[in-house]
Amino acid sequence: MANFKDIIGQKQAKEHFQTAIETGNISHAYIINGETGSGRRMLADAFAKALQCEKHPNADSCDGCKSCHQAESGNHPDIRYITHEKASISVDDIREQLNNDIQIKPYSSEHKVYIIPEANKMTEQAQNALLKTIEEPPAYAVIILLTDNLNALLPTIQSRCVTINTKPISKEEIAGYLVSHLSMEREQAEIAAGFCQGNMGKAIRFANSKDFQEMKEDTLHLLKNIEHMDISEIVDSIRIFSQKKGMIDDYLDLMLLWYRDVLMFKVTKDANLLLYRDRFHDISHQASVHTYESIENILQAIDKAKVRLGANVNFEVTMELMALTMKD
């Protein structure tokens, strides 16, 4: 279980929780909102652990007391996680694991903490059942909802919770972590950091994975040869990528990084500023054959493709429109 000091970035969120512990001004309900991999669970764990710590020096866990040892082993009697076996969190899940249990006083602590991962998966019935508890909670209760979609929660629940939004982490912090903690080469770390767009979980997940390396090589092979391919060949290549890994958004993100490098080199002529420094010759060539306007158009086309795919627009049509812009 994480301590606040272990969490990279998220300064505002950490300060909010630590100030609450120091002042004793603990809310009965929190929402931690942010995309998957942004550190929501780590923040909730660190807050719960520090809140229950018998010493909590500087509002962080001491890692030495009985409470910290129990939290670290996942066996703290007063820190509960709401689980669900089906696709959604049902009203029975909330009633059995939270509403009924919350009436029992803490076993060994001043507080009793309930963490609901994927709270956006609660059915409306489940949310209404939770609402009754949030409206009149026992003094010792702290309920933490984790979500990647704040709008999936009822306005009545949102209004009764303190909402903490996670923030993107800087590329420098992510790259530094990957180098120091995962022994990653600086160049690879910078590509992973640029690719993950401020999401530490995504960076760690892809940093040393075979999938990420394959995705990168597939994408760079396409982009290096794209000027010699026709539209159908480009679309076929991208289709093969997406079928192979099922992560078309990730391929498109890698393309965005490539063309941002092309634009960066066209503007600065400085190879040291590139993420794909090992492909300098290909990038410099493309910078020489593209105008500023055409590079901007390609970047916009890739962004539009991501939006269209997110809206379930036909894959072939979306990719053809993007490929046409890349060729033009």
pLDDT at 296: 93
Note the pLDDT tens digit of each residue in 279-317: 889 899 999 989 999 999 999 999 999 888 878 888 888
Quick one: average pLDDT of 30-42?
A: 92
How many other C-beta atoms are found inside a 10 Å radius of the C-beta of residue 176?
15
DSSP 311: T
Kindly list the distances between the CA atom of residue 71 and the CA atoms of 1, 78, 134, in Å, as whole numbers in the listed order. Answer: 7, 9, 24
Nearest to 285 by CA among 223, 216, 215: 223
Contact, 55 vs 62, CB < 8 A?
A: yes
Q: Which of 14-18, 94-98, 151-155, 251-255 shows the lowest mean pLDDT across its residues?
A: 251-255
Q: Which residue has the tokens 């892809």?
A: 206
Nearest to 266 by CA among 291, 245, 244, 241: 291
pLDDT at 92: 95
The more confidently predicted of residues 236 and 123 is 123
Inform me whether the pLDDT recorded for 195 exceeds 90. Answer: no
Residues 6+ apart with CB under 8 A from 111: 26, 51, 52, 78, 140, 141, 142
Q: Which of 7-21, 33-47, 110-124, 196-210 shows the lowest mean pLDDT across its residues?
A: 196-210
Note the pLDDT tens digit of each residue in 62-114: 999 999 999 999 999 999 999 998 889 999 999 999 999 999 999 989 999 99
Q: Which residues of 183-216 are buried (b: 16+ CB within 10 A; e: fewer)?
A: ebeeebbbbbbbbbbbbbbbbbbbbeeeebeebb
Inform me whether the pLDDT recorded for 208 exceeds 70. Answer: no
**Structure tokens that stand for 306 in this block:** 């991501």
315 CB-contact burial (10 Å; exposed 0-12 / middle 13-18 / buried 19+) = middle
Q: Phi, psi at residue 309, to the nearest 5°?
A: -65, -35
**Cα of 81 vs its chain's centroid, Å:** 20
pLDDT at 190: 83
Note the pLDDT tens digit of each residue in 106-165: 998 999 999 999 999 999 999 999 999 999 999 999 999 999 999 999 999 999 999 999
Q: Which residue has the tokens 């696709």?
A: 87
Note the pLDDT tens digit of each residue in 213-228: 778 888 888 888 888 8
**Structure tokens that stand for 189 in this block:** 């770390």
The rounded distance, in Å, linking the Cα atoms of 101 and 85 is: 19
Contact, 146 vs 115, CB < 8 A?
A: yes
The rounded distance, in Å, linking the Cα atoms of 279 and 26 is: 52
pLDDT at 57: 67
Quick one: average pLDDT of 248-274?
A: 88
Residues 6+ apart with CB under 8 A from 253: 195, 197
Q: How confident is the model at residue 205 (pLDDT cuts 50, 70, 90)?
A: confident
- Give the CA angle between residues 146, 190, 194 to the nearest 5°: 50
Alpha helices in the chain (DSSP H): 11-23, 40-52, 66-73, 91-94, 124-135, 155-158, 171-182, 186-196, 200-207, 210-225, 231-245, 248-268, 280-289, 292-310, 315-327
Contact, 292 vs 263, CB < 8 A?
A: yes
The more confidently predicted of residues 8 and 241 is 8
pLDDT at 244: 61
Q: Which residue has the tokens 């807050």?
A: 47
**Structure tokens that stand for 188 in this block:** 């690879």
Quick one: average pLDDT of 221-247?
A: 78
pLDDT at 56: 67
